[in-house]
Structure 1
Amino acid sequence: MFNAQRISSRARKLSLAVAAGALLGTSALSGCSVANSGEAGGGSGAPAAAGDTLRVVLQQEPPTLEACDANLTSTGIVDRSTITEPLIERNPTSGELEPKLATEWSSDDDQTFTLKLREGVKFHDGSDFTAEDAKATIDRAVNSKIGCDVEGYVFGDDDLDAKVVDDYTLSVKSKKKDPILPLRLSFLEVVPAETSATEKVREPIGTGPYQLDQWTAGQSIDVSAFADYWGEQPAFKKANYQWRSEASVRASMVTAGEADIATGLSPEDNIGELGVAYPNNETVALRMHDNAAPLNDIRIRQAVNYAIDQETITKSLYGGRDKPAAQLVPEGVVGHNDSLQIWPYDLDKAKALVEEAKADGVDTSAPIEFVVRTAQFPRIQELSQVIQQNLSDIGLKVDLKMLETSQQLKYQVRPFPESDNALMVMIQHGNQAGDAAFTVDQYMTTKGAQSAFGNEEMDKLIAKADQATGEDRQKDFEEVFKYQNEKLVQFAHISHQTGMLGISKSVSYEPNSSSGDELRLAEATPAS
């Protein structure tokens, strides 16, 4: 039986936190202090003394720490497996699924899965984790109407039927056969059952090795080791996050001993021997919308692809570390199509397509709004300016809009802002799950959360691939990526990226392919 007293006590705590968040509204954007935070001018503005505190400097302030939005890089890099934890965790090196808050899972039909949950786990408010919390997390993130980013990113329109079998057993059923449902569940960060199901919560209560202490909006975030954590205690008792948009500034903070880890760097930032490269599975591309001329004509979208010199961009801006991309997923992801070639750089061909479309009545002089997120990855502004010039060279009018995270996210996920102008958005997509379903379901279906458009034939191809297993799954997704390049052309691919962290000599941390999306602080230790 469930402990009613436990639930009542926890409900009171959460209701107060939610109420405080509601009163503060958009304080993250205004610079005001938020719930559980000190005044913006004091508290944790300066990092605590090095030694027992791990100091991290990020590219940007998280727009929120809402657990159901943790698949967003700017949120997940703080949340995932640090403050909150999933039921199942994917090993970023081996790709294997590993136990986390669920210790085992099984299914007889690839549709209904039974999960055994870990006992003895406590939330940061002192309450016990049970199957009720796991069910509520699924209902809130997947089945509710609060607009969790993970819903569109991982689950789409389909709800899940989660049922409590007993305190530590959960049954989860999908609407149709879904052989990778456990992999999908690895994207859900667990929160208490009493967390609001009607609005998002800026500061979550989790079960992770660190608990959120203080968020001084516009300045820093402080976390501390959770004394009642079910696993091993992390080596650092505290951690402090700050953010600086300039990569060279982040690098200098590490070299000057003001930070221990800096994200989003490149060798050009003068990080020297403290720069540690890692295999990043992020892909950069342009997502073109068909809402208005001239991008509503496939010939213009093809021309955009021909006009971008991927080889020169990756060599001149990224020192040859990044690789030109022909599709949204890199090698190693199930469904990657080895036979696809990058579009050749051919200005004459691009100009000819623009002229052909113009002759047929397409308004090729209509402006294209080019939306880019400031500081999303190294040298993004220079890259955007190069692309703007490339497209101007073929006769297209491109208006570059560099936006902060909170504003750019409006263009990232449906519903997109209405505009009389054609939209083109710079995206950075990382398929951490290792299966193409997590790319195409959201980016290529007609109703995908991050898809600008699609068609019936593409939807059929994706539905077929989603149901397949083994070699058939690989072949079916290969066909999806081929169809995108030949028939749909929603994307102009730029590059498959590599990542780099700045890591001080006083800290030992080995980055992996997920480090850009979830920086697991518990894996960092003082250097010996």
Structure 2
Amino acid sequence: MSEGTTPRGRVMQRWRRAAIVGLAAVAVALSGCSIQITSQPDPSIGADTMLINADKGNPFFTKNFNPYLTNTRTASRWIYEPLILINPLDGTQNPWLASEWTQPDARTIVMTIRDGVTWSDGEDLTPEDVAFTFQLLKDNPSLDIKGAWQHLDSVDTSGDDVVLHLKTEDAPSLSILGQTMIVPEHLWADVKDPGTYRNENPVGTGPFVLGNYNDQQYSMDKNPDYWQADSIEIEHIILPATNSQLDTVTRGYDWAYSFISDVEGTWGAASEHNNWWFPPGGVIALMPNLEVAPFDDVNVRRGIALSLDRDEIAETASEGYMKPAGQTGLILPNQQQYLDPSIPDQGMITQDRDAALAAFAEAGTHSTATGSSGPTASSSSSP
């Protein structure tokens, strides 16, 4: 490194080396061995109960069912519900606690709150609960995890409707605001510090209520008064705190969202009833802070994108179960209808070492290649 190298230059050099020779290392090292094991379901678990791998303790659970805290229990999403339920696979917007909505103009959304919905303590869901929830997020910005008030100017009620007034003409606001989890005003209005409130005795409108709880396992029971109770077949759900891959395979789990190495030779071989699939249900991406150097430079980001061997990452990180990630941010093939057909190769970028180096050089660095592992930065100029 030359004597004139700036701190920014040193950061860029380190990132350049990492991009060329080390980005594939974000993949998880996995065991390739297969062992012969069998699944032995717990005979004490009834046929109307599901044992699932869906929540993890560290190694114990913290009793937290505040849907707006980042460390809330997984099951809080089965207790609280949004106005609109969005299918992540294809983007379909389903009326939920809002039975319908209209947009009389580009800055107004009118949500009609579903009639006949009750909280699990028997109280009716009202438009005032919805308006209260949005006000709660405004008064406690740390809870506004989806940024509702980046879009909202004000909220009021009119009969069965909640009227959302937007700051600007804002197309994405419907899905963002619609995913707000609604909480009961009659219980939350007296909470002194919602930002730290753990909500240990949750009351919601969702399909399940909290059953037995300890720091190693908790259960969820079907809400008999749920507004869609007839569509819920499972009576109980059990969620253990510790869920190793071996536990998932051998203890008779009914369902899990978990990566299991050699899934066919382990989970699949343990029982003829065990099935698995890897639906494309999320965006796989690197998300740098564009306000911080060196990521504020488009050429640095371009260099990183061109450095990635996406095929190798997909193969190493998921044993080929997942396809390489593209550049569009779309979940394909589910969201194919939104893909611009003029984008080459559906947004897939092939690793191009020379183009990556050129992009980094354009950002203000240059290098000389040493050996076969990739280039080593030798000097840098401040942009």
TM-score of the superposition, structure 2-length normalised?
0.67
For the 8 Å contact 1:87–1:189, the answer to whether it is kept is: yes
One-letter amino acid of the structure 1 residue matched with residue 258 of structure 2: G
Residue 59 of structure 1 deviates from its aligned partner by: 6.0
Residue aligning to 1:456: none
> Could you say if the C-alpha distance between residues 160 and 137 of structure 1 is closer, same or farther in structure 2, counting changes exceeding 3 Å?
farther
Rounded to whole Å, the distance in 2 between the matches of 1:127 and 1:205 is: 10
Rounded to whole Å, the distance in 1 between the matches of 2:98 and 2:365 is: 61
Residue 183 of structure 1 deviates from its aligned partner by: 2.8
Residue aligning to 1:184: 176
> Could you say if the C-alpha distance between residues 148 and 312 of structure 1 is closer, same or farther in structure 2, counting changes exceeding 3 Å?
same
Residue 236 of structure 1 deviates from its aligned partner by: 2.4
Q: Alpha-carbon deviations, 1:362-419, whole Å to 9, x = none?
A: 9xxxxxxxxxxxxxxxxxxxxxxxxxxx9x84448xxxxxxxxxxxxxxxxxxxxxxx
Name the Cα RMSD after superposition: 3.6
Rounded to whole Å, the distance in 1 between the matches of 2:362 and 2:117 is: 64
Residue aligning to 2:52: 56
> Could you say if the C-alpha distance between residues 127 and 280 of structure 1 is closer, same or farther in structure 2, counting changes exceeding 3 Å?
same
Identity of aligned residues (%): 23
For the 8 Å contact 1:58–1:244, the answer to whether it is kept is: no
Whether 1:210 aligns to 2:208 is: yes
One-letter amino acid of the structure 1 residue matched with residue 311 of structure 2: E
User: Helix, strand or coil: the match of 2:312?
Assistant: helix
User: Helix, strand or coil: the match of 1:277?
Assistant: coil
For the 8 Å contact 1:221–1:241, the answer to whether it is kept is: yes
Rounded to whole Å, the distance in 2 between the matches of 1:135 and 1:220 is: 35
Residue aligning to 1:330: 331
For the 8 Å contact 2:134–2:155, the answer to whether it is kept is: yes
Rounded to whole Å, the distance in 1 between the matches of 2:375 and 2:362 is: 12
Larger helix percent = 1
One-letter amino acid of the structure 1 residue matched with residue 255 of structure 2: I
Rounded to whole Å, the distance in 1 between the matches of 2:325 and 2:88 is: 23
Residue aligning to 2:349: 343
* Structure exhibiting the larger radius of gyration computed from Cα positions: 2
Rounded to whole Å, the distance in 1 between the matches of 2:258 and 2:315 is: 18
User: Helix, strand or coil: the match of 2:142?
Assistant: coil
For the 8 Å contact 2:99–2:114, the answer to whether it is kept is: yes
1:161 is aligned, of 146, 150, 154, to 154
One-letter amino acid of the structure 2 residue matched with residue 189 of structure 1: M
Residue aligning to 1:479: none
One-letter amino acid of the structure 2 residue matched with residue 343 of structure 1: I
One-letter amino acid of the structure 2 residue matched with residue 238 of structure 1: H
For the 8 Å contact 1:88–1:186, the answer to whether it is kept is: yes
Residue aligning to 2:222: 225
Residue 264 of structure 1 deviates from its aligned partner by: 2.1
2:163 is aligned, of 146, 156, 171, to 171
Residue 103 of structure 1 deviates from its aligned partner by: 2.1
TM-score of the superposition, structure 1-length normalised?
0.50
Residue aligning to 1:146: 141
For the 8 Å contact 2:285–2:325, the answer to whether it is kept is: no
> Could you say if the C-alpha distance between residues 182 and 285 of structure 1 is closer, same or farther in structure 2, counting changes exceeding 3 Å?
closer
> Could you say if the C-alpha distance between residues 101 and 59 of structure 1 is closer, same or farther in structure 2, counting changes exceeding 3 Å?
closer
> Could you say if the C-alpha distance between residues 118 and 292 of structure 1 is closer, same or farther in structure 2, counting changes exceeding 3 Å?
closer
One-letter amino acid of the structure 1 residue matched with residue 158 of structure 2: V
Rounded to whole Å, the distance in 2 between the matches of 1:197 and 1:322 is: 47
Residue aligning to 2:282: 282
Residue aligning to 1:85: 81
Rounded to whole Å, the distance in 1 between the matches of 2:337 and 2:154 is: 27
Residue aligning to 1:237: 235
Rounded to whole Å, the distance in 2 between the matches of 1:306 and 1:108 is: 45
Higher relative contact order (CA 8 A, sep 6+): 2
For the 8 Å contact 2:50–2:254, the answer to whether it is kept is: yes
> Could you say if the C-alpha distance between residues 165 and 268 of structure 1 is closer, same or farther in structure 2, counting changes exceeding 3 Å?
same
Rounded to whole Å, the distance in 1 between the matches of 2:254 and 2:96 is: 27
Whether 1:321 aligns to 2:316 is: no
Rounded to whole Å, the distance in 1 between the matches of 2:359 and 2:109 is: 51
Whether 1:100 aligns to 2:106 is: no
Runs (5+) with no aligned partner, structure 1: 1-45, 363-389, 397-528
One-letter amino acid of the structure 2 residue matched with residue 67 of structure 1: P
Residue 206 of structure 1 deviates from its aligned partner by: 0.8
Residue aligning to 1:261: 255
For the 8 Å contact 2:280–2:331, the answer to whether it is kept is: no
> Could you say if the C-alpha distance between residues 118 and 48 of structure 1 is closer, same or farther in structure 2, counting changes exceeding 3 Å?
farther
Residue 324 of structure 1 deviates from its aligned partner by: 3.1
Runs (5+) with no aligned partner, structure 2: 1-41, 378-383
> Could you say if the C-alpha distance between residues 131 and 313 of structure 1 is closer, same or farther in structure 2, counting changes exceeding 3 Å?
same
> Equivalent residues in 2 for 1:320-469 (5 A)?
321-331=322-332, 332=335, 336-338=339-341, 339-340=343-344, 341-351=347-357, 393-395=374-376
Rounded to whole Å, the distance in 2 between the matches of 1:321 and 1:276 is: 13
User: Helix, strand or coil: the match of 1:315?
Assistant: helix
Rounded to whole Å, the distance in 2 between the matches of 1:240 and 1:232 is: 19
Rounded to whole Å, the distance in 1 between the matches of 2:361 and 2:336 is: 38
Residue 261 of structure 1 deviates from its aligned partner by: 0.9
Q: Alpha-carbon deviations, 1:134-164, whole Å to 9, x = none?
A: 11112223x2333125333xx3623242222
